[in-house]
Amino acid sequence: MPDVHAPARPQTAGSPGGPGAAELLDFVRRTAADHALVDSLPLDPEGRTWLRLDGPGGSEVWLIGWPPGTGTGWHDHGGSLGAFATARGELTEQALAVRLPTEGWKTLELADGVDREHTLSDGRGRAFGPHHVHDVLNASQDNHAVSVHAYYPPLPLIRRYSRTGPVLRLEEVEQPEEWA
């Protein structure tokens, strides 16, 4: 297995004519502060709920409800840059501070020191570049969380991974019609 150890480089520029990560972060923070919109999302005690919104410059935006204990699993965003902010509750993001190759592998062994963890509560957010791999979780056992996520260009696909210790394995590639 190749050893992945190159540090991730921050990415802030969008595609020509599209919003950059900083603009997406500003948008998700402002949207997360819209209490009427956040309160309009139906919450399900058993599974995540979502509402697709229009974002700046043709970006794809989602308002997502997270029941206690739910998460995304390890994934990337198919080369889109993005941002997310917590509107209610608290989310924990585990991320890899490394740029992974996008093609030609099924299993990678991650080097020591590439793991990062961020806890985001009401109004806090993060922007990320097109090679970001992470797992987002509502670790609360009692409270729903709600967040806003924006991507540009709109998600062309999502790669899903499993992880055991330092070993990351590509499990599947989802197409937009599977989550729209």
pLDDT of residue 10: 34
Tokens of 124: 């806090």
What residues have CB less than 8 Å from 48, skipping those under 6 apart? 64, 65, 66, 67, 70
The per-residue pLDDT of the chain, averaged, comes to 90
Bridge partners, residue 19, by sequence = none
Whole-angstrom Cα distance, residue 15 to residue 80?
Answer: 9
**Fold (CATH) for 3-174:** Jelly Rolls (2.60.120)
Q: How many residues does the chain have?
A: 180
Going by C-alpha positions, the residue among 115, 106, 109, 70 that lies closest to residue 91 is 70
Q: Flag whether pLDDT at 9 surpasses 80.
A: no
| Distance from the Cα of residue 127 to its chain's centroid | 9
Q: Where are the domains of the chain?
A: 3-174
pLDDT of residue 177: 86
The pLDDT of residue 12 is above 50? no
Q: What is the mean pLDDT of residues 74-82?
A: 96
Distance from C-alpha of 84 to C-alpha of 126, rounded to nearest angstrom: 6
Residue 74: band (very low, low, confident or very high) from pLDDT cuts 50, 70, 90: very high
Residues 13-47 have pLDDT tens digits of 444 679 999 999 999 999 999 999 999 999 999 99
Residue 7: the pLDDT is 31
